[in-house]
Structures are given as C-alpha cells and as structure tokens.
A = this chain, B = another copy of it.
Amino acid sequence: MPTLYQDPRSGNCYKVILTAAHLGLQIKTIDIDVTSGLTRKPEFLSKNPNGRVPLFELDDGRLLPESNAIIWYLAEGSPLIPADRFARAQMLQWMFFEQYSHEPYIAVARFWLTFVSKEQLRAKEHLIPEWHAKGNAALGVMEGHLKKNDWFAADHFSLADIALYAYTHCAEEGGFDLKSYPAVGDWLARVAATRGFVKMGKAV
C-alpha cells in the first residue's frame, strides 16, 4: 500500500487525504510532527531533500513530494482532472495561485498563530499585518470567482477545489474572518458535501 508521510495538522497533507478519500484509494499514513525538526534530519532529507511533508511513497519505493503534484498523480484519469484542455490549464492556474498567493500567507499565519509558542511567535509577530493583507487579497480573488462560479475550474469539483479548500476552511485559525466572504463560505459547504469527504486530521 502506498505511504503518505504527513503531519495531520497540515493542509498540504490534508489535500492528499481528501483526494484519496474521494477516489476511494487506500493509503497508509506515517505521522511526522513538523515542529519537531524531523523533516530536516538526514534520514528524512534522504527521502525528500527539500525537507517537507507531504511526501508520497509508492509501493515500489519511488518518492514524490509537493502536495499538488501528489494529488495530480493520484487523480490522473479521474473526473478530478477536467477532460477539456483549457479547463485543465485553469485548474492548474488555481493550484499555482494556491501555492504562490494563498498558502504563504493563510497557512503561514495559521501555523504561527496556532502551532507555536507565544515566545516563538514573537520573532514573527511583525509579519502578521502583511500575512493578513495578502491573505485577504487572495480570499478576495476567490470570492470574486465564486460569486460567478460554483467551482474553480470546468464547472465541477476538481483538484483546484481540493487544493484551495485545505487551508481556506481553517483560515480563521490564522486570524482571517471568513464571514466577510459569503461566496467562499457557500463553496466550502459544497466541498464538504462531496463524495468521500473527511474532516482534517482524520485517517482515510
């Protein structure tokens, strides 16, 4: 059975869990606490030189890091990847948007405000206004799209929705006010009603 090295509190890891659950795939999970420093130790670095989870290990030992690449691999040939060429590119557009314009502010604010001690937070505290400004800009871009569309690409549930759900649904843990984004709220409910949906931190 393929193995997911994950921290169950990580939205990037949760994307893999959501994709596997939706597709009915069985995967084994090995939990790693990212705050322990284990992902920067030689044993883990020999598996992923970039020192991050999620890391996906196939039955034959081949290794694949990067959350959005892992869910692409799992979903190939399924309706989670649109059949139309332009819609497929739009799905990737939102997945790159998630990693560049969304995660570095929304996930990072949640991490520092929720998972580290107040003492450790002090060194990063001056960055909170920038995280909130840029995270709210990303939520605003999503709100604008979701006012006119039920899903991010191809008029149906796809990997773009899974990628963006992972850290949006728990954005309030990073100090964001989701009530200001009603179309995002409606979309979060639509995603939570999809086949096989599991909450964050649950096993597949």
Give the number of copies in the complex: 2
A90 vs B67: C-alpha distance when bound (angstroms): 11
| Docked pose: A68 CA to B92 CA in angstroms | 8
- Cα separation A199 to B64 with both chains bound (whole Å): 32
Could you give, for residues 133-153 of chain A, a 1 whenever the CB lies within 8 Å of some chain B CB and a 0 otherwise?
Answer: 000000011001100000000
Interface residues of A in 98-134 (CB under 8 A from B): 99-101, 103-104
Q: Per-position contact with B for A69-94: 1 when CB-CB < 8 Å, else 0?
A: 11011001000000001101110110
How many residues of A are in contact with the other chain, CB < 8 A?
33
A49 in the interface, Cβ–Cβ < 8 Å? yes
Instruction: Known A49-B144, A64-B90, A96-B99; judge A76-B85 contact (CB<8 A).
Output: yes
Contact of A62 with B by CB under 8 A: yes
> 1/0 per residue A170-189: CB within 8 Å of B?
00000000000000000000
| A103 nearest CB neighbor, chain B only | B100
